[in-house]
Amino acid sequence: MTEPASARDYVPEWMERYRAAWTSNEPDDIRALFTPDARYETRPGDPHPWLGHDGIVEGWLAARDQPADWTFSWELLGSDGDTAFVQGVTIYSGDNPSYDNLWVVRFDGSGRASSFTEWFMERA
């Protein structure tokens, strides 16, 4: 019997697709990352999370970055079952602030995120 995939198995491809969606800002690229009923919180306990494909696309596009304005590096800190913990650094061009990121991503059995929560702090 084959063991079900864990979050660790999904992270590399999902992060590649996330960066592609971040670059393209194409609704279909964004939708492909998430389950139809996913929850995207831009901070823990977000009182106004982005819900479902339509809510996530709308929120993403309202807050979108331009592709040439940033670079992003990341590493997988760990995983537990269907949940991954990703640390990242987002560096924006010009005089824009840069950020340290921590993401908690919960995956369904197909490699799409059912829940995404981000923490971000401006770099000193």
DSSP assigned state of 60: H
Has residue 37 got a pLDDT over 90?
Answer: yes
* Domains contained in the chain, CATH given: 7-122 (3.10.450.50)
- Mean of pLDDT values over 96-124: 95
- Mean of pLDDT values over 65-82: 94
Distance (Å, rounded) from C-alpha 105 to C-alpha 117? 7
DSSP assigned state of 18: H
- Mean of pLDDT values over 51-69: 94
Has residue 45 got a pLDDT over 70?
Answer: yes
**Sign of torsion over alpha carbons 65, 67, 68, 73:** positive
**% pLDDT > 90, the chain:** 90
